[in-house]
Structure 1
Amino acid sequence: MLRPAVLAAALFAACNSLHISPLAIAHEGPDPVSHWYFSPSTVKEGKVAARLGPDATIVGQPQLVTDKLGAAMRFDGVHDYLRIASPAGEADEFLPDQYLTLSAWVIIEAPNPQGAIISTLEADGDGEKGFLLGYNNRVFRFVLAARRSDDGNGKATLLEGKTKFELGKYYHVVATYDGAEMRLYVNGELDAVSDDQRGPIYPSRYAPYTIGATADHDELVTHRGHIRDVSVYDLTATEKWVKHDFDHGSDLLELDAVEIPDDMTFVVTPYLQFVTQDGITVMWETSRSAKGKVLYGETGELGHEQTGDQATTIHEIRLTDLEAQSPYAYQVEATDDCGRTIRSPLLTFQTANNEETPFTFGILGDTQGNPKVCKRLSDQLWMQRPNFTIIPGDLVDSGPNKQQWVEEFFPGMQPLSSRVAFFPTIGNHEQNAAHYYNYVSVPAPEYYYTFRYGNAQFFMVDSNKAVDPDSEQYKWLESQLAQSDATWKFVSYHHPSYSSDEDDYGDMWKGERSEYGDTRIRALVPLYDRYGVDIVWNGHIHSYERTWPMKAEKVQEQDGTIYMITGGAGGNLETAGPIKPWFQNNVKHGHHYCLAAVNGRRLEFKAFDLEGRLFDTMTIDKRDRSPATVPPAAAPETQAAAP
């Protein structure tokens, strides 16, 4: 026996279809709960007026395009989408709770592994909730999470179709759910079925309700192509109805394919990751899915090549079996499925130095939010010809915002990042977003890792996550420090252990007592004392600060750990408080970059302002000291965080 909602859908199978043009709005069947179409009368003043349901807010600058059958909205795949509600719960009365039909006419201009037509999908490490109608690089897909298939936190089913779409052509895509079965239809034909979900739809908590994009708290992925018409029903359409609905709009299939520009472009130009003595990773992003290749060699004649495993938009190719401390030339190219190829200019890199060779590296913190400042500083740093760069977090202002990565961070880091690798840590503004992990290539799990360069070892930590003595990161860091035989030990993470900032840790201008830094992250300080960490680089506070050498919460004349805040590579500037704390050696309000040079057992450090003026220097000389030895393990209570 048909469920009531399915029966209702069956009753209007012979009526006018879900595809409703401006000239044919009325029909005899049930109304959708929401329906959006695009015309000069519905698209104006930053809104799309819904025929039924809530209006949608225009984000970006999608274009209204016309043809002989009507109009559609074209989205650029970077900035453009429609926001119906944020979070989706604000439109709760228009969201189906168990019976669902999603219907749309769309054109795809570029494959996308997470392409979306309409979505209120929440998908992260804390569970999956909501639904999505969209596509990947080849086929359409339907994602849904229901309460009775819950694993305690929400568990979605990803239903992929079989029909491979052609770029530039119209498709009618319908997804249905009746409380027990998910169905996906393409051009009136059943394309995929799943009975993995049961019961009411699990509503998302914080994901927005969007057209032309999918978004949750850590990611925004936008559609490139046309959307002509979108309807949402709280009924479950029958196969007969779907076929009728497709037939009603099938004239759209006779339209000429939308002309897709032949010129595939670089969304992100080549940049370098995780350089070692025998390898380096080359990354870049293209505007459409393509097969990537790196041509490289000891001279500009190249002569070697390494090809990516599959077609993609974000390319990540590891070059191996290289000679240590050696210069190489390289060029990247990408070829799409139509045979169109783009190539980068000839670029260069150098593999990591041998242990006995001096090296220099830059420190740029909090590059977020000001690409002009970041560009000026990275250009000055490049003129110093560092071997690599470290970035102690907050690469962008909002990690889920792809625009900030492709239009702000990466352009601000060129040409530096195409010539030398950068090693980042994750800041709070990255929001643990998928974009960070997509664009960064370092050892798993990527939010903490270590690397060697010359006679130094670097330990990169995620200060957003737990660092107490029982945490995964604490145990990993202690193990790595205990094993390290490096002459120099450097640690980097985002939040500062020590800071004199005016109000982040207590508003000193109002007479409040300051914590003088992030007390939670100080759980790691006993490890630095025990294993002889030389310098800790942080960001988060948008200023510059350097402490005296410190050990056991006391200033030392030598042999202690120096803590530095180098958060002045872009973010809005911050100021030190009115009280000079006991640990502070130097502090400065201003944008800046830093440079550290290591020669055997001697380190020289310099800090430069936005005008390239030197404002701080420091030298650490270990030549007159005996190599450090690790004392016996301290009792557990002495390894607790400092008060």
Structure 2
Amino acid sequence: MKPYIHFAIYLLFFLPQLAKAQTGDQPILDRWFWPNAGLPRNAASPLFQDSLSLNQYEIHQSRYFPNHQINQEVSKQYLFDLKDTVDLASFSLEFWLLDHVNQPIGFEVFIGETSVFGLWDGLYQFSKGEIKQKPWSEYWAHLVLTYQNGVLETWENAVLISTQKIALSERTIVIQSYLKQEPYMALDDWIKHLSIHQKALSSSVIQGNFEAHQAIKETGRRFPVSFHFMAEPYLYSPSPRSIQITFETDRTAKTEIKYGTSLPLQNTVSLPADNNTIVTATISDLNPSQAYFYQVISEDSFGNTLDSGVLTFRTPPESDNPVLFGVVSDTEGRPWINEQIGIKLWDERPDFLIHMGDVTDGGKKNDHWQWTQEYFPGTSALTSRIPMMPVPGNGEGDLFWYNQYHRQASPGGYYNFSYGPGEFFMLNSNDMEGLQPGGVQYEWLKTELTSSKKPWKFVSMHHAPYSADEDDYGNTWKGESTHGDRNLQPLLRLMEAHGVQVMFYGHLHTYMRTLPMKEDKINLSEGIHFVQTGGMGGNLEDFAPNRIPFAAKTFRGFHYLTVSLTSEDFELRMYNSEGAMLDQLKLFK
């Protein structure tokens, strides 16, 4: 994004509202939460800090509150002891909430032993009854609780929705979470900003704060003022002698990328501040199959610095050496799932990753935040060390941010690359017309497949030529299904004619591997293996009630794949999010 846009929104919205909000009232607690512990052990990086989570407030010996309003299993409790800072005659709690899940979640606020507020499955819980939540901009909500003269007010998106008389005497606040139905989710994945004020905020201040938070969402920033990465450094487009490093800062900055084969780092690429906050640099003159260290240090015009710490990568081999790569898809809206799977993939130390699209759930031009506040926080710990090559999904189908974050791909979102004994053809299936005979992508793929000399050829796209899904291609609980997008059949004939062995895709949030298929029929000796992997952060889907004849293996759950590849052998393994292997496929030349 152009820096003047950030600056203009900052001047027009945030500074005036911040001034209003803090007139005579400095919050005693003011925390933004972007939790990501990063990779474990020696791979830890200053990019990922536990201080950006609620962990320091967690109660490890749980308290029992007999007067709770939400009858669900408790996940965790968080204590804020305000005995020396707050006079409970008057105070405010302010929340900025991001609810981008489809399972019931909740939290409850206690002052001392008294439950003063609850939220469960889209319903606010009060002693006098329930009120339906009305989020702003689909997933977001600004929530303020004010207390003064024995009256507790609840404000949603600057609108007063509840008033209740309540007597409070204790000076401890406990927030209790109910998140068991969303695996791996923590409360700070939902609460993105929490502040505690020493007085009851006025309606004008609440309105100003709401507008200030809206500006943060609209710009994609993670913090209102501090210099920060909006996209941590990540690796893309590796070749035996070069690699691409991309990152984004919230303002223009000059940058040094240091790199070398050992510490201290001896080589430097200097990048002056320019008009773009998304920066891509290509490091060239590298050696094939060589391990490297690198470090990104950015400095803004005020002298503030960002330091990635020392990170690592390895260049690809020039020959058909054996490789190990990961396959993922549909990262979408759950950074905590993507973090969990990222840690499991890191344990495998793959050479690179391919991503089958829906990098975001809906990260088109006007929803930059889905990249900077969901995708990058959940994946950058891994992709700062392991290159990832994605295809565009329908979530980023306009290619606006996709192309800015992946400069090596063609403007149409398709490209190919070689790594070891494999060649990978990455297609944009949002352009279905271009994938028909005579279409731009179809003819490009035909040319590239014809010229490919690699022993293994893989085609990747987002949409599904074959599917056992329950309702994406016809509701199988009510009638017939086409079991995949029939518009892709001509493309499959092209792949069959040019010796493609395996096709990967996503879109459906389950796992399915087909029996070998040729000319739309099972062909065990000459068919292509189709592998659907939609197992990252998207909402899980389900299968048709009866087994589809071409389906060799199905699994509903979060998952990832690895592929071990030599010139003669292909071995695919599918793991669930805990690292248990659930499927395996071996092919031989």
TM-score (norm 2): 0.62
- The match for 1:498 is 466
- The match for 1:580 is 547
Equivalent residue runs for 1:35-54 within 5 Å: none
- The amino acid that maps onto 1:306 is V
Distance across 1 between alignment mates of 2:549 and 2:294: 50
State the Cα distance separating 1:274 from its structure 2 match. Answer: 0.7
Structure 1 pair 266/222, CA: closer, same or farther in 2 (3 Å)? Answer: closer
- The amino acid that maps onto 2:456 is W
Structure 1 pair 62/572, CA: closer, same or farther in 2 (3 Å)? Answer: farther
Find out whether 1:442 has 2:405 as its counterpart. no
Find out whether 1:477 has 2:440 as its counterpart. no
Find out whether 1:410 has 2:362 as its counterpart. no
Structure 1 pair 307/213, CA: closer, same or farther in 2 (3 Å)? Answer: farther
Which string of whole-angstrom CA distances, capped at 9 and with x for unpartnered residues, describes residues 25-69 of structure 1? xxxxxxxxxxxxxxxxxxxxxxxxxxxxxxxxx99x96462799x
- 8 Å CA contact 1:378–1:414 kept in 2: the answer is no
- 8 Å CA contact 1:295–1:306 kept in 2: the answer is yes
- The match for 2:387 is 421
- The match for 1:387 is 351
- The amino acid that maps onto 2:576 is D
- The match for 1:294 is 257
- The amino acid that maps onto 1:443 is A
- 8 Å CA contact 2:228–2:250 kept in 1: the answer is yes
Find out whether 1:612 has 2:576 as its counterpart. no
- The amino acid that maps onto 2:448 is Q
Aligned residues: 388
- The amino acid that maps onto 1:565 is Q
- The match for 2:271 is 308
Structure 1 pair 605/212, CA: closer, same or farther in 2 (3 Å)? Answer: closer
- 8 Å CA contact 2:522–2:550 kept in 1: the answer is yes
Which string of whole-angstrom CA distances, capped at 9 and with x for unpartnered residues, describes residues 360-404 of structure 1? 110111011111111111110111000011110001111132222
Which string of whole-angstrom CA distances, capped at 9 and with x for unpartnered residues, describes residues 297-320 of structure 1? 011221111123642321211101
Distance across 2 between alignment mates of 1:528 and 1:430: 25
- 8 Å CA contact 1:268–1:410 kept in 2: the answer is yes
- 8 Å CA contact 1:505–1:515 kept in 2: the answer is yes
- The match for 2:228 is 265
Q: Which secondary structure state, in structure 2, belongs to the residue aligned with residue 490 of structure 1? A: strand
Find out whether 1:489 has 2:446 as its counterpart. no
State the Cα distance separating 1:340 from its structure 2 match. Answer: 3.5
Distance across 1 between alignment mates of 2:553 and 2:336: 26
- The match for 2:419 is 453
Q: Which has the larger radius of gyration?
A: 1
- 8 Å CA contact 1:368–1:571 kept in 2: the answer is yes
State the Cα distance separating 1:594 from its structure 2 match. Answer: 0.4
Which string of whole-angstrom CA distances, capped at 9 and with x for unpartnered residues, describes residues 143-165 of structure 1? xxxxxxxxxxxxxxxxxxxxxxx
- The amino acid that maps onto 2:265 is L
- The match for 2:243 is 280
Which of 473, 480, 483 is 1:516 aligned to? 483
- The match for 2:83 is none
- 8 Å CA contact 2:253–2:272 kept in 1: the answer is no
Find out whether 1:353 has 2:334 as its counterpart. no
Structure 1 pair 368/62, CA: closer, same or farther in 2 (3 Å)? Answer: farther
Which of 523, 526, 543 is 1:559 aligned to? 526
Which string of whole-angstrom CA distances, capped at 9 and with x for unpartnered residues, describes residues 92-144 of structure 1? xxxxxxxxxxxxxxxxxxxxxxxxxxxxxxxxxxxxxxxxxxxxxxxxxxxxx
State the Cα distance separating 1:445 from its structure 2 match. Answer: 2.2
State the Cα distance separating 1:591 from its structure 2 match. Answer: 0.8
Give the alignment's Cα RMSD to 1 decimal: 2.9
Structure 1 pair 344/602, CA: closer, same or farther in 2 (3 Å)? Answer: same
- The match for 1:95 is none
Distance across 2 between alignment mates of 1:455 and 1:486: 6
- 8 Å CA contact 2:220–2:230 kept in 1: the answer is no
- 8 Å CA contact 2:328–2:354 kept in 1: the answer is yes
Distance across 1 between alignment mates of 2:220 and 2:577: 35
- 8 Å CA contact 1:213–1:222 kept in 2: the answer is no
Which of 429, 434, 437 is 1:463 aligned to? 429
Which string of whole-angstrom CA distances, capped at 9 and with x for unpartnered residues, describes residues 397-450 of structure 1? 111322221221112113210101100000011132422222223232250000
- 8 Å CA contact 2:496–2:518 kept in 1: the answer is yes
State the Cα distance separating 1:471 from its structure 2 match. Answer: 1.1
Equivalent residue runs for 1:91-102 within 5 Å: none
State the Cα distance separating 1:223 from its structure 2 match. Answer: 9.4
State the Cα distance separating 1:293 from its structure 2 match. Answer: 2.2
Which string of whole-angstrom CA distances, capped at 9 and with x for unpartnered residues, describes residues 564-592 of structure 1? 11001111111110222232111111110
Identity of matched residues, %: 34
Structure 1 pair 579/265, CA: closer, same or farther in 2 (3 Å)? Answer: same
State the Cα distance separating 1:211 from its structure 2 match. Answer: 11
- The amino acid that maps onto 1:564 is V
Distance across 1 between alignment mates of 2:542 and 2:372: 30
- 8 Å CA contact 1:273–1:441 kept in 2: the answer is no
In terms of mean alpha carbon deviation, does 324-333 or 297-306 score higher?
297-306
- 8 Å CA contact 2:220–2:373 kept in 1: the answer is no
- 8 Å CA contact 1:300–1:346 kept in 2: the answer is no
- 8 Å CA contact 1:264–1:288 kept in 2: the answer is yes
Any gaps of 5 or more consecutive residues in structure 2?
A: 1-12, 24-31, 35-94, 97-210
